[in-house]
Structure 1
Amino acid sequence: MIHRFFRFAVLFAGFLLTSFVAALPSQALEGAWQDLPNARARLLAIGDPMSGRLLAGLEIELDKNWKTYWRSPGDSGIPPTFDWSGASNIAQTRAQFPAPVRFTDEYGESVGYKKHVVFPIEIDLQRPGVPTNLELNVILGICREVCIPVSERFSLKIPPVFVATNSAKEILNSATASVPIVASVTERPQVSIVERAGTTALLTIRVPADLQIQDVFVEGPQTWFLGLPQKLQSSGGTNGSEWALALDGVPLGESPWGAAMRLTMVGPDQSFEQDFTLSKP
């Protein structure tokens, strides 16, 4: 009798545990869609709070022909900014940016995304295994012909234990795969500077053919206003591609030499990043 009771108690406890796990608010890890001007957006999250780390994502769906921007938006546009000051139990965040697309119109060239984008955000927790409140204030530029600056707040409560939904995992894993990776030593392009009499220096970038690169972007210090590299007509084929960028946009009186730069190379299947320093020729 006692044995049967013990066996029933174990089975009942297992039933309660299973029911508890099933009842965990996994749907809460896909935040509700919030309407924005000509777009909608939400927060997602996956991970194990007991490990002290989470992967969140800001997912944005844009109306037809509308776009939002990369961290370096080009001639026009508003780069996204992420403010986590209202969140709790967060020690550090690192926003990542999927490989962008170049847009050309009558207003110039800009860099960003159309239709759909997810910004993955790595999060380190202050205290593993306690409830976390993800509260994100974001500023976006959402544009067609005219840019609309959008400020919106998103919230997502993370319990100490949860079961992430499969759709959240698929969305965030796909977004992470679209982020450029660091180019290996053998994959790195050749970057050189050519001084030109009476005008600004010219930055040239020679990308190996093996990388199958479709576009190239260069970023400098935040106070610089660089244009976008242009592909040289003579480049391509088995010799790779060659790009050129005039170093306009450097603040007056400031030397470009020694500046920390970042090169992003976008390909159809994989994109790459490389940090480099501008060395005086």
Structure 2
Amino acid sequence: MKRIVYTFIVLFIATLTSLRAETTDWIEVHGGAVRLISAGPIEDGQYLAGLEFMLEPGWHTYWRYPGEAGIPPQITLTDTENLKDVEILYPVPERYSDGFSESIVYHDGIVLPIRITPDDGEQNVRLNIDLFFGICKDICVPGDASLTLDLNPATEKDSLAAKLIQRDLANVPQVAATDSLKVESVSLTDEDRLVIETLVEAGATPELFVAGPEGSYIGLAKLASQSGDKVTWHLSTKGLKSGEGDDHLRLVLAIEGSAIEHLEPIQPSWVN
């Protein structure tokens, strides 16, 4: 709810100012809406944009891997111009149970930050995406949108869009481990189960989210034990796939206010 109030305040203020970079119109879907926003001009060779989901109370959408049920965001680039690279970032999600299955979701509203690198920093960029995603409350429905964002290196900064993007960029897991947040080892038991040993700040309440390569349908990591700063998790390898160019498990280890992302190479013996 705080996220919704914050976003509506920002949107209200946005109507009072002309300092706006390119922003698409909202595309309404059942249970919410989606759009693309931009923070403004190119900085250090990149634009900072965001895919913003506004969800009605009680509705949720999904992380890059949905868990036991759901449809993750499927983002396809189409007819782009002057585009060298696009990096879509995923803030730390939350675990959700409907009583039948567990999923990995975002509630209320979320911005997926996007770092955009042009081929030529002095020329405009056109970003076209086709988006397909799941959105759920008492029922689950698919949502889809086609969105186009034109980015100009000389545009003025949109401080309000930048705040929305930075709000969730701050919750994107860091790549480097810390002394109090670390994935120490991943090993296979003889029961087709991974044992994941992690280090967290003593007394903290940790969460672990795991995504496999495209085509994987693994479950959620289960907390097995916690003693001091040592936390052990179990994860079934059933449904784990390893594809060409994508042969890592992506582990997001989070405690309140901090998160890291760890890429663990998938061993042949893990794949069913």
In the superposition, the TM-score normalised over structure 1's length comes to 0.79
User: Would you say 1:167 and 2:157 are equivalent positions?
Assistant: no
Q: Tell me the residue number matched to 2:82.
A: 89
Secondary structure at 2:220 match in 1: coil
Q: 1:51 to 1:202 in 2, by over 3 A?
A: closer
Alignment of 1:13-32 (within 5 A): 26-32=19-25
Q: Hey, what does 1:243 align to over in structure 2?
A: 233
Q: Pick which of 50-59 and 140-149 moved more.
A: 50-59
Rg bigger for which structure?
1
Q: Which structure 2 residue ranges, 5 or more long, are not aligned?
A: 1-17
SS at 2:166's partner residue? helix
Residues 2-21 of structure 1 mapped to structure 2, 5 A cutoff? none
* 2:20 alignment partner, SS class: helix
SS of 2:53's equivalent in the other structure is strand
Q: Which amino acid aligns with 1:140?
A: F
Q: Which residue of 2 aligns with 1:41?
A: 34
**Paired residue secondary structure (1:181):** coil
Provide the residue aligned with 2:8 in structure 1.
none
- 3-state SS of paired residue (1:171): helix
Q: Which residue of 1 aligns with 2:254?
A: 266
Distance 2:262 2:69 in 1: 24
Q: Which residue of 1 aligns with 2:109?
A: 116
Change (3 A) 1:54 1:225: same
Task: Identify the match of residue 217 of structure 1 among 209, 215, 220.
Answer: 209
Q: Relative to structure 2, which stretch is displaced further, 106-115 or 270-279?
A: 270-279
> Quick one: percent identity of the two aligned structures?
26
Matched residue type, 1:180: P
Query: Per the alignment, in what secondary structure is the counterpart of residue 167 of structure 1?
Result: helix
Contact 1:191–1:203 (CA under 8 A) maintained in structure 2: no
- Secondary structure (helix, strand or coil) at the match of 1:193 reads strand
Q: Deviations over 1:63-115 (max 9, x none)?
A: 11111111111111111022221332222211111111111113311111010
TM-score normalised according to structure 2 size: 0.81
- Count matched residues: 248
| Paired position in structure 2 for 1:229 | 221
Alignment of 1:143-162 (within 5 A): 143-162=136-155
Q: Residues 52-131 of structure 1 correspond to what in structure 2 (within 5 A)? A: 52-131=45-124
* Higher share in helix: 1
Q: Equivalents in 1 of 2:143, 2:29: separation in Å?
A: 7
Any unmatched runs of 5+ in structure 1?
Answer: 1-24
Is residue 2:183 matched to residue 1:193?
Answer: no
Letter in 1 for 2:109: H
Deviation at 1:129, TM superposition (A): 1.9
